[in-house]
Structure 1
Amino acid sequence: MELNQISYFINLAETLNFTAAARLSGVSQPSLTRAIRRLEEELGGQLIHRDGKNSRLTGLGQDVEAEFRRMVVAMKSVRDHSENWAMGKHCVLDVAVASTVGPTGLTAFLKSALLAAPSIEIRLHSLQASEDTSELLSGRYHACILPREARLERKLDVHPLFRERFVLGCSANHPLTANEVVRGEDLLEFPFVDRLTCEFRDQILDHFVRKGLLMHPRFRSSREDWVQRVVADGDAICILPERSASARGLVTRPIDGFHLEREIVIATISGSTAPAEIRKIAQLAAEHAWS
């Protein structure tokens, strides 16, 4: 199948006339007729009922027309992207965000970054639990937004974005919301939901063990949205970063004597090997008013 056959057939489907379709295609009628016949042979069926002025598409022809029109749109998009890249008008950046990092605050930054850099398109991905900043070196992503790792590659530039506390998460009508600060021992009265992807999960559980408070999870999940929905819809509780609380009906409270924070950073390839556009995003992130 050749690209010119696609355009020939679309013109034929619009006109249902070989002469008119040939004129639109800029070829002779015999050339267009031969191209359509080759296409029918390749597809294994007749595309048009040839009946003079009453010519019409077959069922196969109608399906093929719809698919060909989608292909034309896709090809135009490819050409536009190629031209924009060549002229420096458009750049798609793949940014991966750790699943435990919530959208609060980040959406405002992304909006301001897109306004400041109109030639950039940001494509967000979820950074899987098995992935880390090594995905930057492999070229899979241009940037990663995640909690600061203990060990970072020297080939990466890391820009701090904000710090956030770990707090209690519960529903808006939960009994514990009556307190400005919640006591640790009060947590044991309610079902505990275990966030399996939390990078600080062991430190959190160890803290309460040292306080003589043994948390017994009644529900565990690696899905942050499921954890928050379960908590927001009932009397269960969880421990989560304060900016990650995004489910409707979920509120947070600090826990007495519990002081654990994490720093969220944006990591990119260092030096001139990083695209100028991602360096621009990193610069905007460093200048953003995260508070």
Structure 2
Amino acid sequence: MERPDIPLAQLHAFVVLADELHFGHAAARLGIAQPPLSQQIRRLEDKVGHPLFHREPGRVTLTPAGRELLPVARRVLGELSDGLAAARAVGSGRAGRLRIGFSASLALTVLPGLLRTFRERFPDADLDIREMTSAPQIAALHDRTIDIGLLREPPSGEQELGFRTVLTEPFVAVLPASHPLASQRTVRVAQLADAPFVLPPRDVGPQLHDRITGLCTAAGFTPRIAQRAVEWQTVCALVETGLGVSLAPASIRRIRLGNVAFRRVAPGTTRTRVAVAWRRNDPNPLVDHLLTTVGNAAPDGS
């Protein structure tokens, strides 16, 4: 089928005249003189091959061809207007799609407030939120399957990615409530030397895993890892069953399990870093808007 070559100005003139059914009124509404309006309509009628209006003294009415064309012309102009508005919104970063990966434990800390603030500022943005651990987030950023990552312990030496610290937090000991150390307000890391550990696998978050095992090494022992679980919620559930103990970011205390005790650890100087990650020079303006929302959040959360 041959694609019609019809200027949008002609369709617009046709719709306005169909609304007004008066050449003078339609020309005034369009901000042009009446002769140019008549020329626009004549050219459109030549393209259609049939008159679109009956022209009688003091009266203009639509022909059957005009009545058939009118809803199509309205739809075309409406879709174009909507498309232009959407393109402008996306171009300015007020709309569009932003794919965000996040570590599950961050749903207990920074994620809810960050997303709430962002949605208040950019209600037309389409957010695609994906739960994934830190290492897969880094891979997904490189593969361009997510635009933003919220993760723990970002890797060093990344040239393509940028990182901004959102907060840091201390570690806590995670113990079965019946454990003898649960009666203490503070647990020395060295006191956990003989206990089996429950930890996430190293490959899902190498930097965080090494920071935890580094705490144990500094206390004079290598942790004996008896069980592994990807998510901290599962780690805590396994600790509750008595399968071992763990060292975890302090925000894990917000997981409510009746038979799990969370205790401060000594020394308490080691902290875990939570960061937002993105591709440098990403053209999606929503990335910059989210980074602005993150702002200069003080990295001293607990």
Counterpart of 1:286 (choices 278, 295, 298) is 295
Q: Which of 210, 234, 237 is the matching residue for 2:245?
A: 237
Instruction: Determine what percentage of the aligned residue pairs are the same residue.
Output: 16
Matched length:
209
Q: Which amino acid aligns with 1:86?
A: A
Q: 5+ residue gaps in structure 1?
A: 1-78
Contact between 1:268 and 1:274, CA under 8 Å: does it hold in 2?
Answer: no
Query: How far has the Cα of 1:282 moved from its partner?
Result: 0.9
Structure 1 212/104 Cα, relative in aligned 2: closer, same or farther at 3 Å?
Answer: same
1:98 aligns with 2:96: no
Matched, 1:260 2:266: no
> Structure 1 residues 176, 121: CA separation in 2 closer, same or farther (over 3 Å shift)?
farther
Q: 2:101·2:137 contact (CA, 8 Å) conserved in 1?
A: no
Q: Distance in 1 between matches of 2:164 and 2:216?
A: 32
Pairing partner for 1:220 from 207, 217, 228: 228
Distance 1:113 1:174 in 2: 42
Letter in 1 for 2:198: V
Task: Give the alignment of 1:9-158 within 5 angstroms.
Answer: 85-86=86-87, 88=89, 90-98=95-103, 101-128=106-133, 130-133=135-138, 135-146=140-151, 147-153=153-159, 155-158=160-163
> Hey, what's the Cα distance between the residues in 1 that align with 2:217 and 2:135?
27
Answer yes or no: is 1:193 the counterpart of 2:194: no
Deviation at 1:97, TM superposition (A): 1.5
* Cα gap change, 1:207 to 1:264, in 2 (>3 Å): closer
**1:65-99 deviation line (CA, Å, top 9, x unaligned):** xxxxxxxxxxxxxx9xx957435264221011235
C-alpha separation in 2, matches of 1:109 and 1:172: 33
Is the alpha carbon distance of 1:207 and 1:104 closer, same or farther for their aligned partners in structure 2, counting shifts above 3 Å? Answer: closer
Deviation at 1:143, TM superposition (A): 0.7
Query: Is residue 166 from structure 1 mapped to residue 176 from structure 2 by the alignment?
Result: no
What SS class does the counterpart of residue 166 from structure 2 fall into? strand
Q: Secondary structure at the match of 2:278?
A: strand
Deviates more, 1:86-95 or 1:262-271: 86-95
Task: Give CA-to-partner distance per residue, 1:144-182, whole Å, 9 cap, x none.
Answer: 1122221122x4343221112222123456543332210
Q: Verify the 8 A CA contact 2:170 2:268 in the aligned structure 1.
A: no
Residue of structure 2 in register with 1:277 after alignment: 286
8 Å CA contact retained: 2:176, 2:239: yes
Which deviates the most, 225-234 or 161-170?
225-234
Give how far 1:200 is off.
3.0
Q: TM-score, with normalisation over the residues of structure 1?
A: 0.60
Q: CA deviation at 1:102?
A: 4.9
1:233–1:106 CA distance, 2 compared to 1 (3 A): farther
Tell me the residue number matched to 1:10.
none
TM-score under structure 2 normalisation? 0.58
Report the alpha carbon displacement of residue 283 of structure 1 after superposing the two structures with TM: 0.5
Seen in structure 2, the aligned counterparts of structure 1 residues 206 and 234 have a Cα distance that, compared at 3 Å, is same
Cα deviation 1:207-228 (Å, max 9, x = unaligned): 4245333432332223433212
Q: 1:251 to 1:91 in 2, by over 3 A?
A: farther
**CA–CA distance in 2 between the matches of 1:253 and 1:281?**
34
> Higher Cα Rg: structure 1 or 2?
2
